[in-house]
Amino acid sequence: NPATFLHAYTCLPLAFATRQAAGAILQDVADSGVLFAILMCKYKVISLVGAQKASLHPDDMLLLSNFVLSSESFRTAESFSPICLPRYNPMAFLYAYVHFFDVNTYLMLLTTSSDAFYHLKDCRIRIEAVLLKSNVLSEVQRSMIDGGMRVEDLPVGPLPRSGSSPHLGQQTLTSESPERPREPFIGIGGPAGLWHFIYRSIYLDQYVSSEFSPPLNSLQQQK
C-alpha cells in the first residue's frame, strides 16, 4: 500500500455530485457530536469529515483501515471498539463505530465518548438512508468494477518529430487507417513509455496512482 511510505491517502474515483452527497450527510453527523465520520471502500476514501478544528493524519487513517479490514468480526455485525490513534493523541483512546454496507464499503464513526454506541447507531441509520436514496453505494460499486486509472488510457501527446521513432506505447498514424490512431496493446505502457505513476499532493495529504499493468506475456508485447 503506497500510503505506508507516502503518508497520504487516496480517494475512490467518483463523480463530484456523488461525493458531495456523501459528504453532506457525513457533515450533518459530525455536527451532531461525532469527532470523525469516514466512508471508505477498502483502503480508498469516499468521504471524510471531521468536527471543527479536528484533523485526522493519513497514518491514523491507514491504521484505522488496517484495523477494520484485518478482522472478519467487523464484517458480520456493527461494532464499537476503543482504538488509539497515535498521530491524533498517543495518550488517549477514541471509540470507533464500524458498520459494513457491503463486502467492501464501510462506515467509521469516531467519538471520545465510551457510551455513544446508540447515538452512533442512529447516525449510521440516517447515513445509510441518504446513501441509498442518492445511489452513492451503487456508484461506489460501479467505480470498483471500472477499476482505477491506467496508463494505457492516458491521452497521447504530440507525435515525435520527423526522423525520430515513437516511444513505447505511443499511438501513431498508419497508412491503413489515416484518420484513426492505432489502438495500443494492453500491457505495453502508456504515452512516452510510461509504465506507472504516483503523484502526491503535499497540500491535501492525498495521492493518486495508476493501476499496475498486466505482465507482458506475448512476443508482440515484449518487442
Q: Give the HSE-up count for residue 13: Cα atoms under 13 Å, Cβ half-sphere.
A: 13
pLDDT score of 84: 95
**Residue 215 lies inside a defined structural domain of this protein:** yes
Name the domain boundary from 146, 175, 198: 146
> 10 with 111, same domain?
yes
Residue 107 within a domain: yes
Q: What is the mean pLDDT of residues 103-119?
A: 94
Question: Shortest CA distance to 29 belongs to which of 109, 107, 102, 94?
Answer: 109
The predicted structure's pLDDT at residue 64: 94
Does one domain contain both 176 and 139? no
**C-alpha torsion 210→215→219→222, nearest 10:** 50
Do residues 120 and 183 share a domain?
A: no
Give every CB contact of residue 75 below 8 A, 6+ residues apart in sequence. Answer: 100, 103
Strands, E, within the chain: which ranges?
A: 36-41, 44-50, 79-83, 94-100, 105-111, 198-201, 206-209
CB-CB contact of 153 with 189 (8 Å): no
Q: How far apart are CA 48 and CA 29, in angstroms?
A: 11
The CATH number that applies at residue 54 is 3.30.450.30
Enclosing domain of residue 51? 3-146
Beta strand 94-100 with 79-83 is: antiparallel
At residue 116, what are phi and psi to the nearest 5 degrees?
Answer: -100, 15
Span of 22-36, 94-108, 167-181 with lowest mean pLDDT: 167-181
Residue 160 lies in a domain: no
DSSP 51: -
Residues forming beta bridges with residue 80, ordered by sequence position: 97
Question: Does residue 196 sit in the same domain as residue 116?
Answer: no
Instruction: For residues 86 and 191, state if they share a domain.
Output: no
CA dist 32 and 78 (Å) reads: 20
* Pair (121, 193) in one structural domain: no
pLDDT digits (tens, 9 = 90+) for 179-205: 444 444 444 566 666 777 788 888 888
In a domain, 77, yes or no: yes
pLDDT of residue 185: 45
